[in-house]
Amino acid sequence: MANDNKSHYLIYRVLGISFEEGENIDLYQNKGRFLYKYAGSFLEEAAVISFNEKFGTENT
């Protein structure tokens, strides 16, 4: 994250957001992106497996 493009920090400054708060925003955004990408994919796959076990694969 240290090497990320920080050009959007100008927008943070215009909005009155401190550098430290901007760092936290970026950190939480990256955590959220990771969570939705990987945990979401896992939950989707688990749901597909569960439905296939319950109802069979001919409905997919």
Q: What is the pLDDT of residue 57?
A: 80
With respect to residue 38, please indicate whether it lies within any of the assigned structural domains.
yes
Residues in the chain: 60
List pLDDT tens digits, range 15-56. Answer: 999 999 999 999 999 999 999 999 999 999 999 999 999 998
Does pLDDT of 60 surpass 60?
no
Residue 49: which domain range? 19-59
CA atoms of 36 and 49, how far apart (whole Å): 19
With respect to residue 1, please indicate whether it lies within any of the assigned structural domains.
no
The model's pTM is 0.59
CA atoms of 7 and 55, how far apart (whole Å): 50
DSSP summary character for residue 11: H
How far separated are the first and last CA of the chain, in Å rounded?
40
With respect to residue 26, please indicate whether it lies within any of the assigned structural domains.
yes
